Amino acid sequence: MTQPHDHIVKSYDDERQRLLGEILRMGEMAASQLEAALDVVERRDDKAAGRIIDNDEAIDALEKEVSHDVMKLALRGPMARDLREILAALRVSADIERIGDYAANVAKRSTALNQSPPLPHTRGLNVLGRLAVSQVRDVLEAYRGNDAEAAQRVRDRDAELDALYTGLFRELLTYMMEDARSITPCTHLLFMAKNLERVGDHATNIAENIWFLVHGDDALPPREKRDETNTVS
């Protein structure tokens, strides 16, 4: 009973499923990389840091695959709803790729950090990082389920991450003023904290793309944004 048309539709759908699978795999890799990077900061393990840095290439390779698959899908002349999905796929994979970069960056800076004695502030960095990882995992889950409301919750929780970041930033500045020898390692910690705050921003971007996917161009609900670091005095 299968019509030729059904066949085409089905295989188009297969391609879409493959694309979604690739993106989710990519996302899980980025989340794991981020977790591994946080671990490596705690354990001061340069070798493991090197592995994380190398692994980032796999995420970059996957992003290229996604672009290819997107091209193949777009060549079929998709309808408007499908095209929204395709555009979202491109953007979400670009955000995941950036999250992977930040994970590699945290790992890179951890090896620089290991050239100085341990600092108490890696604890605060870890808390910030764990929240960032859970934001990434939650937004991927929302993407898998096409769940705009879950995405919206991730977006709202970004303010928490920003507040944590601002607190850690101030703490680090105070510490640097009290002890000049801590300036170099604390500078690395500042950038690592910024990287994790940026991971949260990319999770938010993904959340906004899920909203766009589900609701089209309907305006997003307002959101509180609290990055106060630029007014730190």
Residues in contact with a second copy by CB under 8 A are 67, 70-71, 74-80, 83-84, 86-87, 90-91, 94, 105, 108-109, 111-112, 115, 173, 176-177, 180, 183-184, 187-188, 190-191, 194, 230-233
Whether 196 contacts 106, CB under 8 Å: yes
The nearer residue to a second copy, 51 or 76, going by C-beta atoms, is 76
Question: What is the closest distance, in whole angstroms, from the C-beta atom of residue 86 to a second copy in the complex?
Answer: 7
**Tokens describing residue 175:** 């510490």
Q: How many whole angstroms separate alpha carbon 221 and alpha carbon 224?
A: 10
Smallest distance, a second copy to C-beta of residue 221, A: 18
Cβ nearer to a second copy, comparing 1 with 232: 232
| Cα–Cα separations (whole angstroms), residue 203 to 2, 14, 155, 167 | 41, 26, 8, 20
Quote the CA–CA distance of 99 and 122 in Å, as a whole number.
20
- Closer residue to a second copy in complex, CB, 72/153: 72
Least distance to a second copy, CB of residue 1, Å: 28
Asked if residues 171 and 220 have their Cβ atoms less than 8 Å apart, the reply is no
Q: Are 21 and 87 in contact (CB under 8 A)?
A: no
Which token pair is 58? 């796999």
Query: Could you tell me the smallest distance in angstroms from the CB atom of residue 105 to a second copy?
Result: 8
The two structure tokens encoding residue 61: 């390779």
Nearer to a second copy, 217 or 224 (CB): 217
CA gap 160, 182 in Å, rounded: 27
Dist CA 80 CA 103 (whole Å): 35
**Which of 39, 82 has the CB closer to a second copy?**
82
Least Å distance between CB 218 and a second copy?
A: 13
Q: Minimum Å distance from CB 141 to a second copy?
A: 24
- Closest to a second copy by CB, 108 or 121: 108
How many Å apart are CA 188 and CA 39, to the nearest integer?
A: 16
